[in-house]
Chains A and B, each alone.
Chain A
Amino acid sequence: DAGVIQSPRHEVTEMGQEVTLRCKPISGHDYLFWYRQTMMRGLELLIYFNNNVPIDDSGMPEDRFSAKMPNASFSTLKIQPSEPRDSAVYFCASSGLAGGPHTGELFFGEGSRLTVL
C-alpha cells in the first residue's frame, strides 16, 4: 500500500506566482482532506471532499485558494496569486470508511512545504 502521496515535497516560489499542490489518496478511500499547518495556527482544515464532491470548504482562507478533485485518485490545491503568509506545510489526508457517520482514522501524506518569498 503506497499511502497518500503528495507532490512536491518542497516548493519555494516568489510572491504573486501560482502554486499547485497535488495529492493521490489511498485507493478505495472516499474522503479526501486538505490541511494546512503553521506554528502560529496549528493544523487547520481547509476543505474536504466525499466521492470527489467538495463538502465543506469553510476553512479555505480566501478566493486565492481553490481545490479540485477531478477523479477518485487525484486532487489539487491551487494558490493564485501566492503571498508570503501562505508559507506553511500543506497536508493531504484520506479516509476509507464507507457510509456515515465516519469515525475512522485519517491517513496523512508527508506534506508539501511551501515557502513564498
Chain B
Amino acid sequence: SQQGEEDPQALSIQEGENATMNCSYKTSINNLQWYRQNSGRGLVHLILIRSNEREKHSGRLRVTLDTSKKSSSLLITASRAADTASYFCATHRWREYGNKLVFGAGTILRVKS
C-alpha cells in the first residue's frame, strides 16, 4: 500500500506557535498533497509538492519533501484558532495506480486561543 501515515495523530498548541505535522509513505510517488478538513466539512486542498521538489511555501504554510526518506512535513507558522482542523497528506502515483490519491489517517490540530 502507498498509504501515507501522519504523525502525530493529534497536536494541541497555543495560538501563535508553529505546528509541524509529518507524513511518511511507502512507495515512490509523482506528487504529495496536503489537505485540511474542518469539522463536518469537506476536504480543502492546501498545497502540492512534486517529487522533484524539496520545499514549497504558500502563505503561512511550508511543505518539505524528502523522497530518500519517503517523508514530508507540513509547517504552519504563527498558528491561529481558525487553523484548528484535521490535516491529511495524500500521495499520487500515476503510472502504477492511475489518477487517484491515497490519503493518510490525518493529524488533528487544535489551536488554543
Contacts and interface: CB of A to CB of B under 8 A. Distances in A.
B92 interface: yes
Interface residues of A, number: 26
A102 B99 contact: yes
A101 interface: yes
Identify whether the interface residues of A are mostly helix, strand, loop, or mixed: strand
B43 to A, nearest CB: 5
Given A91-B42, A105-B33, A100 B94 contact: yes
A48 B95 CA distance: 16
B100 interface: yes
Residue among B31, B42, B43, B103 having the largest count of chain A Cβ atoms under 10 Å: B42
4 closest Cβ pairs, A-B complex: A101-B94, A108-B42, A105-B45, A43-B103
Interface of B: 30-31, 33, 35, 41-45, 48, 50, 88, 92, 94-95, 98-106
